[in-house]
């Protein structure tokens, strides 16, 4: 049984003016996501600025989200780290908090060999009873889970059930699906590749776009899974300009800017992230207007 099928929002972490986590605003955003048919909340991922949260803040966000959602839809907690021991700690605490699943990114900076990745995921998985989605984003981590390694982990470790694929390499994704007989739960990690990933047997997307267009992102997946591939592709292509704008600077700079433009008061970014360049703000505004959300 998949943790979720459809659109999971990689939700932003709103901040107050003095850069403290704004839990009241986070609650409002969560409620709006559920209202607009988002299928899962992914808390404390890259988009949620997890890398600049303290461990205490990180876990407080997970606890708050689990309590707020209250099992209405699945909550997937980002608990990855470049230190296996830290990832185990965050994962066990997320399970205590009531998370429905975990999103665990590959080790960054120190990277790992393919055997090291196998051991990393095996140790984290052994510490919890929750289902785990591997997160493969070598553009950020410098570390790529190759298809044979991901397939090996999936086959050998019972509660590693899926992968968020953000390599952009469709050939690698196709090989992984072949090696797992299409059984691994596959999620697109790139908003411009939702339909291609679904065509290879994907379950949905873990999405940045869904922060500003939750219903529309849900509809891309739902249309495809209902058999209306042409409509799904149409919705995917309509979103391309906005997706490009949301990634014209490093995520989550543009999406948090977009949330502020929409009146969500998502607040500032923590360093080393910086405010969006003025010319890119104009590009983002134009894309949002063209998409019909501003």
Decide: 276 and 257 in contact? Cβ < 8 Å.
yes
Handedness of CA 154, 168, 62, 221 (dihedral sign): negative
Q: What are phi and psi of 69, to 5 degrees?
A: -70, -40
DSSP-derived secondary structure for 266-285: ---PPTT--PPPHHHHHHHH
Q: Is 135 known to be catalytic? A: yes
Q: Is the C-alpha dihedral spanning 122, 125, 131, 136 positive or negative?
A: negative
Query: Which of the residues 118, 121, 135, 291 is marked catalytic?
Result: 135
Query: Mapping DSSP to helix (H, G, I), strand (E, B) and coil, where does residue 263 land?
Result: coil
Nearest-angstrom CA–CA distance, 64 and 164: 24
Query: Which two structure tokens, joined as six digits, stand for 67?
Result: 């309590």
Q: Is 175 a catalytic residue?
A: no
114: which 2 tokens? 């393919």
117, HSE (Cβ side, Cα atoms, 13 Å): 28
Active-site choice (25, 164, 256, 283): 164
Question: Cα–Cα–Cα angle for 177, 180, 181, nearest 5°?
Answer: 80
- Give one word for 227, left, alpha or beta, with left for phi > 0 and alpha for psi -120 to 50: left
175 close to 150: Cβ distance less than 8 angstroms:
no
Query: Active-site positions?
Result: 135, 164
């Amino acid at each position: 049984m998949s943790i979720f099928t459809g659109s999971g929002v990689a939700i932003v972490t709103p901040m107050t003016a003095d850069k403290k986590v704004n839990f009241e605003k986070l609650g409002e955003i969560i409620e709006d996501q559920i209202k607009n048919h988002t299928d899962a909340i992914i808390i404390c991922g890259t988009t949620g600025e997890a890398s600049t949260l303290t461990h205490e803040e990180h876990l407080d966000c997970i606890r708050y989200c689990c309590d707020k959602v209250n099992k209405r839809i699945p909550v997937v907690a980002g608990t990855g780290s470049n230190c296996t021991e830290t990832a185990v700690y965050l994962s066990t605490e997320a399970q205590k908090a009531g998370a429905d699943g975990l999103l665990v990114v590959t080790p960054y900076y120190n990277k790992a060999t393919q055997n090291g990745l196998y051991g990393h995921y095996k140790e984290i998985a052994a510490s919890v009873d929750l289902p785990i989605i591997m997160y493969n984003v070598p553009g950020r981590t410098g570390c790529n889970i190759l298809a044979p390694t991901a397939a090996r982990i999936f086959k050998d470790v019972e509660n590693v059930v899926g992968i968020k694929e953000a390599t952009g390499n469709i050939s690698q994704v196709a090989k992984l699906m072949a090696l797992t007989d299409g059984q691994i739960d596959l999620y697109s990690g790139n908003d411009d590749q939702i339909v291609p990933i679904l065509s290879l047997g994907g379950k949905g997307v873990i999405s940045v776009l869904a922060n500003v267009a939750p219903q529309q992102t849900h509809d891309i997946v739902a249309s495809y899974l209902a058999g209306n591939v042409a409509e799904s592709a149409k919705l995917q292509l309509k979103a391309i300009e906005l997706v490009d704008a949301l990634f014209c600077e490093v995520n989550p700079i543009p999406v948090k800017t977009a949330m502020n433009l929409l009146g969500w008061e998502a607040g500032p970014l923590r360093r080393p992230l910086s405010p969006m360049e003025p010319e890119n703000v104009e590009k983002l505004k134009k894309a949002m207007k063209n998409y019909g959300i501003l």
